[in-house]
Every structure is written in C-alpha cells, then in structure tokens.
Amino acid sequence: MLGFLFPGQGTVRVGMGAWLRRRPVARARLDEVDALLAQPITPLCARGPLERLVATEHAQVAVTACNLAALAVLLEEGFEPLVVAGHSVGELSALHAAGVLTFADTVRLVELRSRLMAEVGDTGGMHAVMGLPVEEVEALAAEAGSVDEPLVVGLENAPGHVVVSGALSALDRLGKLATRASKIVPLRVGNAFHSPLMAAAVPAWAEAVRAAPMSEPLVPVVPNVTGEPTTDLATLRDALVAQLTGRVRWTDTVNAVEEFAPGVEVGDSKVLAGLSRRAGARCLSLAEPATLRRLSREIAA
C-alpha cells in the first residue's frame, strides 16, 4: 500500500502530460477533463505558450488534469492508497482519490477555485526562502510585513525550503533582511496565495465547498492546514476553505503520510518527491519512467 501525494500549481510546464497521453486509461481521463471545461486544457499543456499555462486560471486545471490521469494509471495497475494528501490545489485531487469528491465535481471545484483566485487581481507575490528554519523566516516575515502590507509564511515545503507570501513591498523588505538565507527565489505565480491577500476569494469559495456533494473518505486524508490525517468530513470541508488563506504545512504532511506508507507523487511532476526526500520521507514520482516497475517489485517483495 502507498501514500498518494498530488502536486499543485507550481509544477506546471509546457509538455506536461506527454507520458500520460501514451496510456489509454490516462488519455481517456484527460479527454474527460477537457469535456467538462468551457475550453480544453490539454492542448495548452502540450504546446503552451508558457505565459498562458502558468496563469492561475489555467495552471490549477492543468495540474489537476494530469493528477487525475496519473491516478487512473495507478488504479489500473492495481495500486490503492492507504492515505492521501495534495499540495495546495492538489488537495482536491487527493479528495477525489479518497472517494470524497466525484471526478466531475473535482474538476468543477478546481475550475472555480482557479477563477476566484485569478479574479482577486495582482495584489502580491511569493518568494522561496532557502536555507533558513521556518521559525526564522516567520520572524523575518513579521518584521518585513505590516497590517496594510501583510507577509506570512505561505508554505512549509521542506526543511530549509520555506515560501513567504504577501505584499510586494514587504517581499522587497524581507529580501534585505534575510541576509542568512542561502537563496531567495521569486516564484512565477499570479498572486500571494495562502496569505491574507486571498481573503476576497474566500466567501464564494466557502459557499461552493459547503454546497459540493461529498462522501465520507475511504482512507485518511492529510489536509494542508493541519498536517494531520483525518477521516472526518466536516474537518476536510473546513480545511479546504481555510487552505485558501492558510499555510500549507507540507513538511508535517509528508511526515504524517510516512507514518502510514511510502509515498508516490501522482501526476506529471518530480517536485513532491524531491521535497519529501528533503524531509527524510520516502517518495517516488510517476514522472520517472521506471517508477511503476519499481513499485510493482517493492509491493511484491
């Protein structure tokens, strides 16, 4: 048994999904996603341009399409999850894998989430701060930010890999303060996700999440905002709403998954596998051609 980990928006790239289109079951899932959308997403995944693909309203749908297609491959091969989690928007793919959301409702919610977040407008940005513990980054963000120009830790991706999210001016100040950081990398994203600057999108998102049909999870889900496994549906709904402005506690999440089973990154990305290794957790990526064979050998052993 495995822990299924689903990547998020930051993993999009032109050409994503190429290996999935070679698998009939995955290609069928990609076609299903396209059929549910006003405009198909798979041509943009395959050919770009990158500027359109990385836009919030496209990126979240694109990564979800690949996640759902990769999930279909794993299930066809006979692999079932013992626990699931998803990074940011990947949490919706995880909820589908756990039986909470139908395929169609997953796509519908992701499309709505991406649109609501894009409509907030250009209010901020995100920087990855490398080489510092999260506690130090929290203190620096508090010093650089203010009530009118908030700056928070948006993602705890791995030890020494923290993402701050907030007002652009506060990000500039943090860059001058974080002299001990080994590197600070501006992220190519449309806004300050997982920060108070996303508050304008919360009311409509909360209404949609409350109204969405959901079933009790078949396996534990580890929500981003808690980093703790749960099978309580009310907790999962609340966490899905809180995630829009709340912190992605990914280090806690992968450690919680590790308590159940080794992880596999379900999508067309190697990002989560790398972050898991930095956190000392086991994780393979389906984007590696040999992973399915390796998983079969390990499960057999």
Q: Is the dihedral of CA 202, 9, 91, 20 positive or negative?
A: positive
How far the first Cα of the chain sits from its last, in Å, is: 12
**Residue 163 near residue 129, CB atoms below 8 Å:** yes
Output the six-digit token pair for 3: 């822990």
Residue 172's alpha-carbon distances to 184, 197, 267, in angstroms, are: 11, 17, 34
Residue 220 in 3-state DSSP? coil
Evaluate the omega torsion of the peptide bond into residue 43 and state whether it is cis, within 30 degrees of 0: no
Number of helical H runs and strand E runs in the chain = 14, 9
Q: What is the rounded CA–CA span in Å between residue 8 and residue 88?
A: 5
Tokens at residue 185, please?
Answer: 């990398």
Tokens of 142: 């508090």
The pairing of strands 81-86 and 151-158 is: unpaired
Per DSSP, helices labelled H in 191-270 are 202-211, 233-242, 250-260
Give the torsion sign (CA, 163, 55, 264, 18). Answer: negative
**Active site positions, annotated:** 88, 194
